[in-house]
A and B are shown apart, each in its own frame.
Chain A
Amino acid sequence: MSVHTSSGTESDTEVVVIGGGSTGCGIARDLAMRGVEVTLVEKGNLTHGTTGRMHGLLHSGARYAVSDQESARECITETRVLEDIASHCVEETGGLFVQLEEDDDAYYEEKLQGCRDCDIPAEELTAEQAREVEPYLTNEAQRAIRVPDGAIDPFRLCVANAADTERHGGRIETHAPVTDLLVEDGEVVGVEIQHESGPGKRVHGKEGETEEIRAEYVVNATGAWAGRIGEMAGLDIEVRPSKGVMVVMNVRQVDTVINRCKPKGDADIVVPHETTCILGTTDEEVSDPEEYPEEQWEVDLMIDELSKLVPLLEDARTIRSYWGVRPLYEPPDTGTTDPTDISRQFFLLDHADRDGVAGMTSIVGGKLTTYRLMAEEISNHVCEQLGVEGECTTAEEPLPGSEDFSVLRDYMEEFGLRSPIGKRSVQRLGSKAEEVLKTGERNPVVCTCEAVTSAELRDAISHAGTDLNATRIRTRASMGNCQGGFCCHRMAAELSPAYDERVVRDSLDELYQERFKGQRHALWGEQLSQAMLNHALHATTMNRDRDPARKEEPGIEYGAFDAGPSPGVSGDGSTRATADGGVRSDGGTPDSGAGRSGKSAKKREGEHGDQ
């Protein structure tokens, strides 16, 4: 329940979860399913932090089979669970660990044995067999181990967890950064948040307000940002953020996850993801999870190194690059210097035990593949504190969209969609396809690169409000080759008429800017040509860079411009060509615009038209 006070709003709940990444969303769902009243708050949109900025690998565990067998076992177990409960978010691509000539034989053997020790199915392939699986694999490949790696869409996964949380009575607040922790008598009793655009779905331009949410327990699931939240209650949480680059290719050069079979190192994995491939990554400790250098050498390293595995990548088209920050953590006094040596395990920090501050636990470390297991453990812990006895059921209950997905029907005819479009829509929507696509209205394709239709966008907007980046991650619209050049404005138009023109324009500007930012590290060759085309489409014909409707632009003196050689069919332009303060043909006067300062220096003063 919430009440309005002079300074904002107050509400209460049982548990506040801070952070809308995979861990936070997983915890919120788990608690909500056990009957706990839960509110999740996230400063951006869902997946805003690290979750939305990873390579989308669903680990079989093979990657950790030599160095960290406990993690490896968790991975294979959780991968099997996700294939089951999140089938519409997962693609079972399979993976290869490829040994090149210069790679160590002994390590290959250890990897194979490690997989077997951890019950990870591992099949040895000759170089020929490996190239049969992946024809573009280098001729230098010696042999390979086939493992059940996969690809996962972290956006869809988080959205499905959040949707299920709401379905079980929970509350999800995005664009609501925590501005303070409420601490009373040495105990955390809630959070203060700033609604950037009012509570609920985001509406651009809507006035923000603060809200105090009082809770019996607070979970800090902010990953690399955990230290910042901790500081608000005087707690010291030693997260060691480590950045990694991901480079997105325009097509799927490979359909299988390709790993380099060597101990550790940068640039050793290619993950097929939806219509693209993602190359990763680097591992460099940074001091600030938001401000760190994005460097050209990192992008070049991905292409140079991974071309050794898949030579085609050398000249392939790169559509964007992005960086993510791992929320690495190690207990005080461990003293690891190389971030690649820091454990990928997760840590549950109960601040009552650790710091004498009750009411809050932080969760740090870990990885996306095991998000559900982490959520289960922390939910167990929270329930213990609250005296709740509910059992965890998240490993058995499918996520929304994933129920009965095995009986995928042919929606193409039914929804009037051409086959590849229908197929892709149904893959993204899973079991929600019928509900979303069954619309009586015309359903044009809005994003042609990713084959996203108007109906799918309208469904996403009904959940995301005016945040088109949130709609983008739900649908993949604007994430293909053109990076939104051909569809951003059409996506924005889907907000109308529910939202007014000004809001639509602000939302469009935000989406277009976000799309541009990620391309900056891929601007050469085809993608630089694309960027110039997008620049020309949006700035030239649409004149969006100098949009006269923008407040920053001075008003136009329309009378100073050509009104046509003879406006109107009759040829008498006298009442039609508007000069400053002129009279319209309907007898009214222009309600605004005329008389505002124009470009008087560059117009011919005193002339009214050119007849």
Chain B
Amino acid sequence: MAISDDVLVIGGGLAGVSSALAAAQEGVRVRLISHKKSTLRNASGLIDLLGYADGELVADPFEAIPVLPEGHPYERVGIEAIRGGFSLFDEAVGASYLGAHTDRNALVPTYGGTVKPTARYPVSTAAGLASDSRSTLLVGFEGLSAFDAPLAAEHLQAADVPFDVHGVSIAFPKRFRSDATAMRFARALDRDEPAENGESHTRDVLVETVKAHLDGAERVGFPALLGEDTPEEVRGSLESALGVDVFEVPMGPPSLPGLRLEDRLYEALDEAGVRVTTGNPVAEFDTENGRITTVYTDRGGQRVPFEASEVVLATGGLVGKGIGSNRKGVYEPVFDCYVSHPEERSEWSREGAFDDHPFARFGVSVDRDMQPLDAEESAEYGNLRAAGSVLGGYDLANEKSGSGVSIATGYAAGRAAGEHA
């Protein structure tokens, strides 16, 4: 017998979770199915809304959104849904995130040595904001080549940040194999493992080493590896021992703040009573009178049916494989929704690495009710909505808008699905 729900959300990333939470608020029965681990683990953990519009840095996203072009996901959902989505997010993550006290963006120093505009940031990064003028020491670890603290400090100086900043590279108190990732460092701090010298523990040795470089700095930044399971405790113990604020510098994949966010969001789903089924891809679906009635996942060759009255497609973009492509064209692999793209592959990209690439905007187009549209601009299915980076019409990297679009469109699609169910 088929599993039956009111709303079925396909996709377990930020957009899927936001959809499921919004739908659940409408008091209906919601299920989220996802195939693979979400791309949140690749994400920095920063929740951007809109960092750049027309290539210009944006201090207040809500002032820039009204002038975005027609078809942009923010234009589709409108300001009210964006605010609604962010309220939902703030509630879901609670005290683990900051930034809700203002509409303005914060500038967070990241591992490349630049600053990134963002609307919300993990509490662990809060003491590092670039508009805070306290003098700063950045600490990197030999062997962790993804973050070169002295170089990042020089880079921040070149960006004219309003504070003194220095960087130092030190040996981590415990020696790992040459290819250890941030995860291994984090675990050693979580467990406060014995240090290399065999006499003291990791955190104590780390504190003593950093103290020698403090030189009056009022805050200290480390790459985002201060604990996987108990980050608050790790950071807190370092702060009290050092006597200054400690912050994390967001890193590339695998990203601990991204993983922590994923954990927090799945707890919120659980609290909201959303049922979660993971591990299998969607293989096929049934329709009746232009509506999707049943979606089947493929469990090692066996078809598992999921019935629902409303469906949200939140399978991600090119990275998450919610948008697929081959030599012939670009497509949406689950429901084969229409994806507009140039016929010639050579027109999918531009010459410069950071040019305005058409491929970055590939995705399905939706109406203002978040329903995917076919080539003739009619709704593909009567009960299907789409959210997150499966949508086209925006460049999440260039605009620094990926998280915000997922949250706002997820909220809008989920709420509408919940209302109709």
Contacts and interface: CB of A to CB of B under 8 A. Distances in A.
A610 B102 contact: yes
Contacts of B132: 563-564, 567-568, 573, 576-578
Contact of B154 (A454, A501, A517, A548): A501
A599 B57 contact: yes
Contact of A542 (B112, B130, B164): B112
B117 A561 contact: yes
Interface stretch (B27-35, B144-152, B284-292): B144-152
A590 B162 contact: yes
Interface string B100-126: 011011110011111111000000001
B396 A303 contact: no
A444 B55 contact: no
A537 B354 CA distance: 12
B129 interface: yes
Interface in A520-550: 520-521, 523-525, 528-529, 531-533, 535-549
A560 interface: yes
B131 A528 contact: no
A569 interface: yes
Contacts of A531: 318, 349, 359
Interface string B342-381: 0011101101111001011000000000000000000000
B129 A536 contact: no
Contact of A445 (B60, B178, B218): B178
Nearest to A509: B353
A441 interface: yes
B345 to A, nearest CB: 6
Contacts of B178: 416-418, 421, 442-445, 453
Q: Helix, strand, loop or mixed for chain A's interface? A: loop
The size bracket of the interface on A is: 35 or more
Of A521, A537, A557, chain B has the most CB atoms within 10 Å of the CB of: A537
Contact of B145 (A444, A568, A592): A444
A578 B354 contact: no
Interface string B9-20: 000000000000
A276 B357 CA distance: 27
A445 B106 contact: no
Contacts, number: 297
A110 interface: no
Contacts of B111: 541-542
Q: Helix, strand, loop or mixed for chain B's interface? A: loop
A539 B252 CA distance: 12
Nearest to B252: A537
Given A444-B145, A524-B326, A569-B245, A561 B354 contact: no
Interface in A48-71: none
Interface string A316-353: 00000000000000000000000000000000000000
A297 B99 CA distance: 51
Contacts of A603: 59-60, 104
A590 B352 CA distance: 35
Interface string B194-216: 00000000000000000000001
A549 B155 contact: yes
9 contacts: A443-B178, A493-B145, A497-B150, A536-B396, A543-B115, A561-B104, A562-B107, A582-B162, A610-B102
Given A300-B327, A442-B142, 6 more contacts: A444-B143, A532-B318, A541-B251, A543-B115, A545-B354, A602-B57
Interface of B: 42-44, 46, 48, 51-53, 55-60, 63-64, 98-99, 101-102, 104-107, 110-117, 126-127, 129-135, 142-146, 148, 150-151, 154-164, 171, 175, 177-180, 216, 218, 239, 245, 250-253, 317-319, 321, 324-327, 344-346, 348-349, 351-354, 357, 359-360, 396-398, 400, 402
Closest 10 CB pairs of A and B: A593-B160, A542-B112, A501-B154, A539-B397, A603-B59, A549-B158, A516-B353, A562-B106, A545-B354, A578-B133
